[in-house]
Amino acid sequence: MWSLQNLLFIICIALRCVTCEAGVIHVTGYVGREVNVSCSYDEGYESYEKYLCKNDCGDSDLLITTSNSSKNKYSIHDNKTSRIFTTTISDLHSVDAGKYWCGVTRTGKDIYTEVELKLVPDSCCDTVTKVQSYEGYSESVSCPYESQNSLKYICRGNRPSTCLQQALITSDTKQNGRFRLDDDKMSGTFTVTINSLTRNDSGSYLCGVQRNSELDVFSAVELEVEEWCCVNSTKINGTAGNPLTLQCPYPPQHWDNRKFLCKGDHRNNCSDMVTSQSRFTLQDDAASSSFTVKVTELEAADAGTYWCGSDSQWRVGNYTKIELSGMLDTFV
């Protein structure tokens, strides 16, 4: 059958493919992933065999048929209700790019639809927007787009092929835990806000805009979340029973601000030591833009993290972080 069919196909090509359906189906896939090639057919051909072939559709070019629906990296499914058969090509490589034909076997000349498969790398993008923020803060990532009524989304990583399936939030949901998506159609920009940032939020993100007939459009963002800190960070050893003096610099413009020393692993659970402990006294020296806190007699329980503060808004860079440890057991 195939030798006669090949001859008829060559004649078909010479006659500008009089049995081919109009138009070319353009399909784009990602290298290393899979792609679906879908072709429709007319009513009355539901029970006919369908196939996918490549190049000139010779015997060696036949890739898969509905009578043998799975072969190597190809599988085929015929939806007779919608009259569309779909071939899935897995593990795509550069050699898979090129011209294919969807075929419907019939007596005489088969029906062919031309397919052009293009492959692109499963990575993005040439330009990356860098965003820097701090743990505990909120940060907004702006993503421009052109197709207003399309689905928008954001995902972690740099793989466009799986981005939508792994989306952190989409324009359909708008709010998902710490993530919120706002779509400003007037400016053609959607914004994703991430609240309560942690250092684990650092990394690569992709903003995606869905397109039905083509690959989605992406823009890349690199988010760096730094530790919330300080003018400087220091470690001090102390000995229980002995006095200790802590030095705390502050920005010169804070000369008139209230100064304080608080204790806690994080600023959000920090207790003011000067107002709660009589052993702690604070002395300000505006001329040197610093203050000291003197502890008259250290106790073992004083070990821990301290924050020297001069800014009630807890803005980044206005504090000194002090780790107090060392020989805190009383000598006998």
Going from N- to C-terminal start, the domains of the chain cover 2-120, 128-226, 232-325
153-197, pLDDT tens digit by residue?
999 999 999 999 999 999 999 999 999 999 999 999 999 999 999
CATH architecture of 128-226: Sandwich (2.60)
Q: Which fold has domain 2-120?
A: Immunoglobulin-like (2.60.40)
116-137, pLDDT tens digit by residue?
999 999 999 989 999 999 888 8
Average pLDDT on 233-248 reads 92
pLDDT band for 57, please (50, 70, 90 cuts): confident
Question: Is pLDDT at 13 greater than 70 in this prediction?
Answer: no
Q: Is domain 232-325 annotated with CATH 2.70.50.60?
A: no
Question: Is pLDDT at 214 greater than 90 in this prediction?
Answer: no
Do 2-120 and 232-325 have matching folds?
yes
Q: Please report, for residues 25, 50, 151, the alpha-carbon distance to residue 22 in angstroms, rounded to integers and kept in the order given.
A: 10, 18, 30
Could you tell me the pTM of the whole model?
0.66
